[in-house]
Amino acid sequence: MLLTDKVVIVTGAGGGLGEGIARVCHREGARVVVADIRGDAASKVAGSLGEAALAVTCDVGNDEARSRLVDASIAECGRIDGLVNNAGVNFVRAFLETTVEDWERVIRVDLRAVFFFSQLVCRQMLAQESGGSIVNISSVHSVAALPGAGPYDAAKTGVVGLTKSIAVEMAAANIRVNAISPGLLNTQIWKDLLAAAPDPERAVEHWNSNIPIARAIEPEEVGELAAFLLSDRSKSITGANILADGGMTSQLTSREPYESRSIEGH
């Protein structure tokens, strides 16, 4: 197993992508701290994982709550070997309608919390003198944009930048920091998107045409990548942003709804 005897904190792990990551880490032998602003959801996930899981209620946007999460992890597990900064706030609102409050909320949770929680955990890893690994969940929004997602795009792009900065600074202490940028995920947001569409079947066709593998990514698939980056098998990888998007950002346009003839280029 990749993570035997390691202690890993996963934020936003009460459902969706975070839950998928927590489940894979647990399966790979880690003792997982399931952190979520929804305490009941965190407890449900941790309970389903068994004794090697700890549930902690935490609003990552709150400074004191982040400190309490670190303290609880140390008190219960004795150390921290890995952190997955997954908790975040999605956001869609027209640029001209976005308020200061919108901006502050998204940046506080999706960017500021990643920086300062990583700082807390790095200090603990330094005290342990055994190194560690941090995985920051960014997004394909770090390389391309959709209308109405200004604060979210800014935050997720910022996550990639601070990932590189922290990775360079902490490398000498054997602390690795990487980012994962998922594409369309099969989580509640995807279900909500389909439910809001006038024709869910056409919505699926549209999105699949923009993804070379023609489907949404399962949370556990991102979890597999996160577990690898948290493990000792990725010792040479730090400062990377790995796109787990099914090829979405490599494709110029959606696929043609017809079969084109060959173009010889005369």
DSSP state string for 120-138 = HHHHHHHHHTS-EEEEEE-
What is the value of pTM for the model shown? 0.95
In a domain, 2, yes or no: no
CATH code (residue 227): 3.40.50.720
52-63: pLDDT as tens digits: 999 999 999 999
211-229 residue pLDDT tens: 999 999 999 999 999 999 9
- What pLDDT does residue 193 have? 81
Inform me whether the pLDDT recorded for 260 exceeds 80. no
List, for residues 103-147, the tens digit of each pLDDT value. Answer: 999 999 999 999 999 999 999 999 999 999 999 999 999 999 989
Catalytic residue among 117, 152, 207, 228: 152
What pLDDT sits at residue 245?
97
Q: Is residue 195 part of a domain?
A: no
Per DSSP, which regions of the chain are E strands? Answer: 7-11, 31-36, 53-57, 82-85, 132-137, 175-182, 241-244
Whether 200 maps to a domain, the answer reads no
pLDDT tens-digit series, residues 63-85: 999 999 999 999 999 999 999 99
Q: What pLDDT digit, counting tens, does each position of 7-28 carry?
A: 999 999 999 999 999 999 999 9
Give how many domains the chain has, as a whole number: 1
The reply to whether 152 belongs to the active site is yes
Q: Is residue 137 part of a domain?
A: yes
Residue 119 belongs to some domain of the structure: yes
The DSSP output letter for 185 is B
Give the structural domain span for 42. Answer: 7-185+218-248
Q: Residue 240 falls within a domain, yes or no?
A: yes
DSSP codes joined into one string, 3-38: TTT-EEEEETTTSHHHHHHHHHHHHTT-EEEEEESS
Q: Given the structure tokens 């996963």, which residue do they identify?
A: 10
Label residue 241 exposed, middle or buried (CB < 10 Å: 0-12, 13-18, 19+): middle
Residue 102 covered by a domain: yes
Whether residue 264 is contained in a domain is answered as no
b vs e for 12-27, b when ≥16 Cβ sit within 10 Å of the residue's Cβ?
bbbbbbbbbbbbbbbb
